[in-house]
Amino acid sequence: MLIVAERINATRKSVRQALEEKKADFFIQEAKKQEEAGAHFIDVNAGANPEREAEDLPWIVEVIQDKVSIPLCLDSANHEAISEALRIYKKDEVMINSFTAEEERMEAILPLAAEYGASVVGLAMGEGGITESAKDRMKLVEKLVVGVEKYNIPREKLLVDPLVVPVGTDQTQGKVFLETLANIKRDYPEVKTICGLSNVSFGLPNRRLINRAFMALCVGYGLEAVILDPTDLKLVAILLASEVLMGRDEFCINYLAAYRRGALEV
């Protein structure tokens, strides 16, 4: 499972304050902590102030990119912010999060992904927002696939997010997500799948319990990448155990390595 670490997100109060005060040490420590916890990418979101995002996102990238060995995931709805961050980005591998099935959004983001050889997260969402059924979401997934192919981006570089809707508002949506996930792997086996896991529990008590149960289900349905907090050891332990049970961890190597470093908190 590819883990994209979510903690550097300006919607979090502590991150927003550190960004406003340009506390470089805060971002370096957050990035290092998430790398040490086992993340494969560090998601960087500087969207607290849209008017400054094209300056703030490159600033965070500049601060942390040489302090960790893993690549970054540039997370913004502002293509100018993405463009400016890519311009100063030094690592060989990068991910862009995200674009939708809307033509305007594809035309803004996909040329950048093609130019820089980036992996790109595509959201199964169009002009009308998030659809309610797996069938309708698959129509949008088809548009995402056609979009990357138009710009000669390999399907393997596309990570589709079927979109997690809080089950507290619609209890059918966990099932819809999982059905869409399975359909993507059936129809587009080269395409990878990803999700922002914690959305599923929004508005409910004991959110971490819901997140952990959903993590196990997602692994069972073939999810290949997840945006989460890698310092939540219990969540990561569920992920690793689920991959063992699904035959996705050859010789249990990842599970055993985590056990030896004391990371399997239950």
Report all structural domains of the chain as residue ranges with CATH numbers, in order of start. 2-226 (3.20.20.20), 232-266 (no CATH)
Q: Please give the radius of gyration of the chain, using alpha carbons only, rounded to the nearest integer.
A: 18
Q: Residues 164-208: pLDDT tens digits?
A: 999 999 999 999 999 999 999 999 999 999 999 989 999 999 999
Q: How far apart are CA 233 and CA 238, in angstroms?
A: 9
Q: Residues 71-128: pLDDT tens digits?
A: 999 999 999 999 999 999 999 999 999 999 999 999 999 999 999 999 999 999 998 8
* Concatenated DSSP letters of 132-161: SSHHHHHHHHHHHHHHHHHTT--GGGEEEE
